[in-house]
């Protein structure tokens, strides 16, 4: 949180900070409130029960008021300073810019375990095969939206789990938004909340469901 605050203070615009607590019982929401108590443009949203990352991100995005909306993981696996790479693309009329760990210029400074990395790459191959052939990495938790695109996409999101990123990009494509994929620095966090097997199985089910919805052309209904 402090790194985000320090970065925001160095910018020329006001920065709203929104933290969404997905029904945790570990005091996350209280800690966030204490750290943001003196930040006038902040919100802490507490979901009554765990609903999944997709549901939590949707709550935060739809509560945001800024013209640009950054979605980032709390552990800052992608450092907040990487946002500077995205601004020229927004000025160049892109509506959504996504960080990527899979491009030649991506800088992976601390890798996941071999098993997690292999499973992640396998999931990305499935994504490219089934629904999104032109993105190398849909799952990096660092994405910048223009407000209009964020509203149009997240009001339609139905995927509540970790595969929501895939639906975000599918919707962006179907709604005609311009998307750029940018190489970023990435540092693995040992405190990942992605459960290796149960979360992976759920992500596969969500991906196959999205594939069926795409074939039936029911994503934007």
> What are the extents of the domains in the chain?
2-215
Name the one residue in this structure whose structure tokens are 């909340």.
193
What is the distance in angstroms between the CA of the first residue and the CA of the last residue of the chain?
A: 37
Cα separation, 165 vs 23, in Å, equals 20
Cα separation, 185 vs 53, in Å, equals 22
Q: Is pTM, for the whole model, over 0.85?
A: yes
Task: Using CB atoms within 10 Å of the CB of residue 46, give its burial: 0 to 12 exposed, 13 to 18 middle, 19+ buried.
Answer: middle
The CATH number that domain 2-215 falls under is 3.90.550.10
Q: What is the pLDDT along the chain (221 residues), one digit of tens a residue?
A: 899 999 999 998 899 999 999 988 888 899 999 999 999 999 999 998 999 999 999 999 999 999 999 999 989 999 999 999 999 999 889 999 999 999 999 999 998 888 888 888 899 999 999 999 999 999 999 999 999 999 999 999 999 999 999 999 999 999 999 999 999 999 998 765 566 667 888 999 999 999 988 877 767 66
């Amino acid at each position: 949180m402090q790194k985000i605050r320090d970065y925001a203070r160095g910018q020329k615009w006001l920065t709203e900070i929104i933290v969404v607590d997905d029904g945790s019982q570990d005091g996350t929401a209280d800690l966030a409130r204490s750290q943001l108590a003196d930040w006038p443009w902040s919100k802490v949203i507490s979901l009554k029960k765990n609903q999944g990352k997709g549901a939590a991100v949707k709550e935060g995005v739809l509560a945001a008021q800024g013209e640009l909306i950054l979605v980032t993981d709390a552990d800052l696996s992608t450092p907040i300073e990487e946002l500077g790479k995205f601004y020229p693309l927004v000025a160049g009329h892109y509506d959504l810019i996504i960080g990527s760990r899979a491009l030649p210029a991506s800088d992976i400074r601390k890798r996941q375990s071999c098993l997690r990395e292999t499973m992640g790459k396998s999931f990305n191959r499935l994504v490219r095969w089934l629904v999104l052939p032109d993105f190398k990495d849909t799952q990096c938790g660092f994405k910048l939206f223009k407000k209009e695109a964020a509203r149009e996409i997240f009001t339609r999101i139905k995927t509540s789990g970790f595969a929501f990123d895939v639906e975000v990009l599918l919707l962006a494509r179907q709604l005609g938004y311009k998307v750029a994929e940018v190489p970023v620095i990435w540092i693995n966090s040992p405190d990942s909340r992605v459960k290796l097997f149960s979360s992976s199985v759920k992500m596969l089910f969500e991906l196959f469901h999205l594939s069926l919805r795409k074939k039936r052309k029911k994503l934007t209904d």
